[in-house]
Amino acid sequence: MNLERLQLFLKIVDTGSVSAAGRESHVTQPAVSRSLKQLEEDIGVALFDRQGRGVQLTAAGRALIPRARQILRESERAREQAQRAAKDGYFDLRIGAVDSIGTHILPACLPALLRAHDDLKIKLWMGRTQNLLERVDRGSLDVAIVAYSGPPSERATRVGSYGLKYYGLSERFSTLATLESERELRELPIVEIEALPGQPSTIRDDADAFAIAQNLSAVKALVLAGLGVGQLVPFMLSHEERAQLVCAERLQHDPDCGVYFVRSYREVSSEEQRVQELLMSEVSARLSAP
């Protein structure tokens, strides 16, 4: 909907005539009439009844008034925000992160970004790897920090390992430390994230106890509660939590699985580049910490 036509429509409403609207807007009367006709064609209804040399609002015209005022207010607000952003050097950083990173790594990384760039606006989404990769491909995220077996795209940089290991409460699953095969593991109650279509599950079809969760934080809580054994990343566990658990150290996990920093295809300014590099450095440092 054309903003200038809406402005002239409201001028007619406020002044009471086409000619007065033209005078206040410094536009000729024929030009105002044409603008009104084009607006009516855009909407598909008559906004005024022409009565001699005057005009009278139709029901459709009366209904349009509050919405037209709202549209113009929002347009003005958007213009002011854009001008303010350009003046202040504003930009935002749209981050996507898998649950384990978003919960246990990012909170320690963000203060450094905000100290270095106090005007930075951070927008964070947490989700599963596949969803985040799709969003960064669409350009709705600037960066995605995901766990993947090998680089998920040519824009991905590996920033650390993602050493998933099976853990269980030691008082209930002490034999976990001696297991050497997945077959033995599947005899225990499994806690795992719900498998996506096409992904395998460790849970046996005839299992009499198991739990299916939506993220690793839920897996961790259920493992610590003694419900079963589940895959966790060491950085998720405090020293006190590790002391309660036993780990299946002999079971091999995918050695190629790592944490990847995946950038959008969008071109960024030098300032945005510095912010992304700082974030990547902070995440890498946290992942490599003992």
Q: Which domains does the chain have, with CATH numbers?
A: 3-86 (1.10.10.10), 92-157+256-288 (3.40.190.10), 165-247 (3.40.190.10)
In this structure, are residues 148 and 260 in contact, taking their beta carbons and an 8 Å threshold? yes
Please report the pLDDT score of residue 199 as a whole number. 86
Please report the pLDDT score of residue 92 as a whole number. 83
| Number of residues assigned to the chain | 290
Digit-coded pLDDT (tens) for 266-287 = 888 788 888 999 999 999 999 9
Please report the pLDDT score of residue 90 as a whole number. 53
- CB count within 10 Å of CB 109 equals 20
207's CB contacts (< 8 A; 6+ apart) are: 186, 189, 190
In this structure, are residues 244 and 263 in contact, taking their beta carbons and an 8 Å threshold? no
Please report the pLDDT score of residue 185 as a whole number. 95
Which residue's entry shows tokens 């395998």? 200
Please report the pLDDT score of residue 27 as a whole number. 87
Which residues of the chain, if any, have pLDDT below 50?
none
Please report the pLDDT score of residue 78 as a whole number. 82
